[in-house]
């Protein structure tokens, strides 16, 4: 069965490899939450799955730890989940992973890849269940929870598997080395190269994108032969418990110890992250979260443990001019409204020249641009159903508080309000303010959540310089620019490239700066303080295994 799995999914893997190479469009997992794709009962089954899990102990067959011992999630949409999970102490988890490591690390590359691909396909089949799990832990609206938590995350996982496969197989398993010796017979050696895993891998999940941000590291480490301990954020365990359940099923069915994948559950105020992260058996750590905890990891984790981080930053849009003014305002309004600004790719600062801009609708003053963006948000969110579908809910109560406090930081153009008709959900629509780039500091750090600063810059060049400078200093994952002329676009490309930020130019319509597509867009550059690694490039994967060579004299 083991090589069967690889063969079954080889076409998908090959397509992924091609797309990783040419960065063209590819998606293995369909993003439309449709019964025609996922089965007519899939939606109802997903809801039922979620309801069945609520107020119960999540079963993970054979997982170490006491059943139902931890878990205090509650939905940003209201209900307490009441799901509990097995909880084991750190030593027990490490021992279980170590016991599982040998056979997994020694398995043929194709076998491991097959297990990873089969698990991704099965996770895909559970995308409706996953959507419910992601929605009710992160506050993402259903459609986004389905896409970002389901197929898009699965594509990111596949991308990591493809990179891992490519990296591991670029060295041949064996080679004949024939060195000429002048008139004498050549020296001939048979050489063998074995891929050996780096060691136990710890993946620390975040509260907003528990699967999307976890799958690249999870699948890259697994594919390279490393057992993975997943430490979910205490607020977003359920999506990763489902992931772990499916992976453990596939591992068990293929004859591996399911403890190759483990869930390390904790609760707020009693986190075990530091204890696991500093355990000497952990050889790789992937972290998504705050700069503060990333700093702690950098200061405390052994230097020989590989550490990949995705941290916070300040994403900016620079408006130099616009040939599609209204479409631009609509596009920006969507970008700052989507999941209420809780995406690591969401823009926070919109730099506009103090003297205003040229546009297809004639000149627009700085204040007019700010007002028009505010009005575009109003227009977008005017329909309560649409507003709910775009905004979702706020994951963390502190974010709501931050939005309330933020009104003092600038001049309010559009006030944040709850989403109309959202009931018990914790919601907040975007707060849009103007602020003076030179006179203020508030926008020069991350203000996480639905807070948008329209920043008055001296002129377009200052806007580019300061936005890209801020990215270099504080980090940024995305940037966008609007300009009618090529020269300004070229300057923007240069400025943001040197700051290591992924730039989008003149976006309008149904494509947004927030979006990062697997196989084509690199997520995080690793070249500014928003993270030291990229999801997913060769550097993200190549250090997760090593090569152990052996050689033997054949003729001399």
Contacts (Cβ under 8 Å, ≥6 apart) of 483:
318, 320, 321, 322, 460, 489, 492, 505, 506
R_g (Cα) of the chain, nearest Å: 25
Binding residues for a second copy, per CB under 8 A?
21-25, 167, 170-172, 175-181, 187, 189, 191-194, 196, 198, 298-299, 302-304, 307, 489, 493, 496-498, 500-511, 517, 520-522, 525-527, 532, 534, 537-539, 542-543, 546-553, 556
Q: Which is nearer to a second copy, 33 or 86 (CB)?
A: 33
Q: Which is nearer to a second copy, 15 or 74 (CB)?
A: 15
User: In the bound complex, what is the minimum distance in angstroms from residue 517's beta carbon to a second copy?
Assistant: 7
Report the C-alpha gap between 19 and 179 in whole angstroms: 38
Angle (CA) 148 496 537, round 5°:
50
Q: Which is nearer to a second copy, 271 or 521 (CB)?
A: 521
CA 107 to mean position of chain CA atoms: 28
Q: Which is nearer to a second copy, 86 or 531 (CB)?
A: 531
User: In the bound complex, what is the minimum distance in angstroms from residue 476's beta carbon to a second copy?
Assistant: 11
Q: Which is nearer to a second copy, 393 or 476 (CB)?
A: 476
Contact 465, 420 (CB under 8 A): no
User: In the bound complex, what is the minimum distance in angstroms from residue 442's beta carbon to a second copy?
Assistant: 26
User: In the bound complex, what is the minimum distance in angstroms from residue 556's beta carbon to a second copy?
Assistant: 4
User: In the bound complex, what is the minimum distance in angstroms from residue 287's beta carbon to a second copy?
Assistant: 12
Q: Which is nearer to a second copy, 25 or 61 (CB)?
A: 25
User: In the bound complex, what is the minimum distance in angstroms from residue 541's beta carbon to a second copy?
Assistant: 9
Q: Which is nearer to a second copy, 304 or 441 (CB)?
A: 304
- The burial of 375, by beta-carbon neighbours within 10 Å (0-12 exposed, 13-18 middle, 19 or more buried), is given as middle
User: In the bound complex, what is the minimum distance in angstroms from residue 526's beta carbon to a second copy?
Assistant: 5
Q: Which is nearer to a second copy, 15 or 520 (CB)?
A: 520
Report the C-alpha gap between 112 and 269 in whole angstroms: 37
Respond yes or no on whether the N-terminal peptide bond of residue 536 is cis (omega within 30° of 0).
Answer: yes
Q: Which is nearer to a second copy, 125 or 497 (CB)?
A: 497
Report the C-alpha gap between 376 and 373 in whole angstroms: 5
Q: HEC states along 127-194?
A: HHHHHHHHHHHHCCCHHHHHHHHCHHHHHHHHHHHHHHHHHHHCCCCEEEEEEEECCEEEEEEEEEEE
User: In the bound complex, what is the minimum distance in angstroms from residue 328's beta carbon to a second copy?
Assistant: 11
Q: HEC states along 512-553?
A: CCCCCCCCCCCECCCCECCECCCECCHHHHHCCEEEEEEEEE
User: In the bound complex, what is the minimum distance in angstroms from residue 305's beta carbon to a second copy?
Assistant: 10
Report the C-alpha gap between 117 and 112 in whole angstroms: 9
Report the C-alpha gap between 208 and 232 in whole angstroms: 11
Report the C-alpha gap between 307 and 119 in whole angstroms: 25
CA 7 to mean position of chain CA atoms: 28
User: In the bound complex, what is the minimum distance in angstroms from residue 25's beta carbon to a second copy?
Assistant: 5
Three-state DSSP state, 296:
helix
Q: Which is nearer to a second copy, 304 or 385 (CB)?
A: 304
């Amino acid at each position: 069965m083991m090589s069967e799995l690889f063969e079954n999914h080889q076409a998908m893997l090959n397509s992924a490899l091609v797309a990783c190479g040419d960065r063209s469009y590819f998606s293995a997992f369909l993003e439309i939450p449709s019964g025609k794709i996922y089965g007519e009962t899939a939606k109802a089954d997903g809801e039922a799955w979620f309801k069945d899990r609520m107020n119960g102990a999540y079963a993970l067959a054979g997982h170490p730890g006491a059943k139902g011992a931890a878990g205090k999630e509650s939905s940003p949409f209201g209900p307490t989940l009441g799901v509990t999970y097995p909880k084991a102490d750190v030593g027990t988890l490490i021992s279980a992973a170590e016991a599982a490591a040998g056979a997994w690390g020694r398995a043929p590359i194709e076998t491991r890849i097959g297990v990873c691909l089969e698990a991704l396909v099965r996770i895909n089949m559970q995308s409706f269940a996953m959507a419910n799990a992601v929605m009710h832990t992160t506050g993402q609206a259903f459609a986004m929870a389905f896409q970002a938590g389901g197929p898009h995350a699965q594509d990111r996982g596949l991308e990591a598997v493809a990179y891992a496969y490519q990296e591991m197989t670029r060295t041949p398993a064996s080679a004949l080395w024939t060195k000429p010796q002048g008139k004498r017979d050549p020296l001939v050696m048979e050489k063998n190269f074995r891929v050996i895993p780096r060691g136990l891998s710890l993946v620390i999940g975040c509260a907003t994108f528990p699967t999307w941000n976890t799958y690249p590291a999870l699948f890259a480490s697994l594919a390279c032969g490393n057992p993975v301990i997943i430490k979910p954020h205490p607020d977003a365990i359920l999506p990763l418990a489902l992931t772990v359940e499916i992976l453990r099923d596939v591992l068990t069915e293929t004859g591996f110890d399911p403890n190759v994948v483990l869930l390390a559950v904790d609760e707020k105020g009693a986190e075990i992250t530091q204890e696991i992260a500093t355990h000497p058996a952990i050889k790789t750590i992937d972290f998504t979260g705050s700069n503060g905890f990333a700093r702690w990891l950098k200061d405390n984790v052994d230097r020989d443990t590989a550490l990949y981080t995705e941290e916070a930053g300040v994403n900016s849009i620079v408006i130099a001019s616009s040939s599609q003014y209204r479409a631009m305002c609509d596009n920006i309004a969507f970008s700052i409204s989507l999941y209420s600004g809780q995406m690591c790719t969401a823009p926070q600062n919109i730099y506009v020249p103090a003297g205003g801009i040229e546009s297809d609708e004639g000149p627009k003053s700085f204040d007019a641009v700010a007002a028009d963006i505010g009005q575009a948000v109003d227009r977008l969110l005017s329909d309560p159903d649409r507003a709910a579908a775009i905004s979702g809910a706020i994951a963390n109560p502190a974010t709501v508080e931050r939005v309330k406090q933020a009104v003092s930081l600038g001049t309010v153009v559009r006030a944040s309000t709850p989403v109309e008709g959202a009931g018990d959900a914790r919601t907040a629509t975007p707060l849009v303010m103007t602020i003076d780039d030179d006179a203020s500091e508030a926008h020069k750090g991350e203000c996480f959540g639905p807070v948008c600063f329209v920043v008055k810059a001296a002129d377009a060049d200052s806007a580019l310089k300061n936005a890209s400078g801020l990215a270099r200093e504080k980090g940024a994952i995305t940037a966008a620019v609007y300009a009618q002329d090529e020269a300004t676009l070229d300057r923007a490309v240069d400025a943001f490239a040197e700051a290591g930020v992924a730039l989008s130019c003149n976006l309008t319509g149904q494509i947004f700066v927030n979006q990062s597509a697997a196989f084509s867009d690199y997520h995080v550059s690793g070249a500014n303080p928003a993270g030291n690694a990229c999801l997913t490039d060769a550097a993200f994967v190549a250090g997760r295994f090593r090569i152990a060579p052996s050689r033997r004299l054949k003729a001399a």
